Chain A
């Protein structure tokens, strides 16, 4: 069955610190992987996506994610977090014509 696990419900970091948000997926075919961000009071926005090729993908706002097939993971990273990055982050998996399934999300809090 298609599923996404985000094991961290809530993460707190200091501004300027590095960040890694974990995502593990289960999918029976070639996965298409995504990270979306939901800022307070706003809709969801695509950060980045992985379809094929280079397993390290770059996204907007300085985020990157690495696809590791052996670990069924697609962790999101940022070298230096800004206060404006405080939001909820959702990992998602889909297929060629398959639906997009989201994880339960990780809420990021940034301290000055």
Chain B
């Protein structure tokens, strides 16, 4: 079946512009994560959606970053007034259940969006 789909795959934007990154998780997956991967920083947690619970936004680096998940499915990560340090690969992942949930399923990662801020 279809995996996690992210779009665009690449995005080049000018400093100060806003960008929207999209994630289509696997159908039926209740958990959805956004991570940022940059050289030497590993996988930096940004935000976590679990079912109908309030999202865990504790990883968002500044108020320029926001994310929403509509209808428990598609998610959009928005970065306002982009800065050069925002350049990274933004990864979305989904799973059937929370990490320790009874119905364990591993995280399924998308191929990411490579964001370059010039």
| A residues whose Cβ falls under 8 Å from a Cβ of B | 6, 9, 30, 32, 34, 36, 43-44, 46, 49, 51, 90, 92, 94-105
Number of residues from B at the complex interface, CB < 8 A: 24
| B residues whose Cβ falls under 8 Å from a Cβ of A | 33, 35, 40-43, 45, 48, 50, 56, 58-59, 91, 93, 98-101, 104, 106-107, 109-111
Note all chain A residues with C-beta closer than 8 A to B48.
Answer: 99-100
Q: Closest 9 A-B residue pairs measured CB to CB?
A: A94-B99, A104-B42, A102-B43, A46-B106, A99-B48, A96-B100, A32-B100, A97-B98, A43-B109
Q: Which residue of A lies closest to B112 (CB)?
A: A43
- Verify A99–B45 contact, CB threshold 8 A: yes
Q: Which residue of A lies closest to B98 (CB)?
A: A97
Bound: A100/B35 CA distance, A: 10
Bound: A43/B3 CA distance, A: 11
- Verify B107–A96 contact, CB threshold 8 A: no
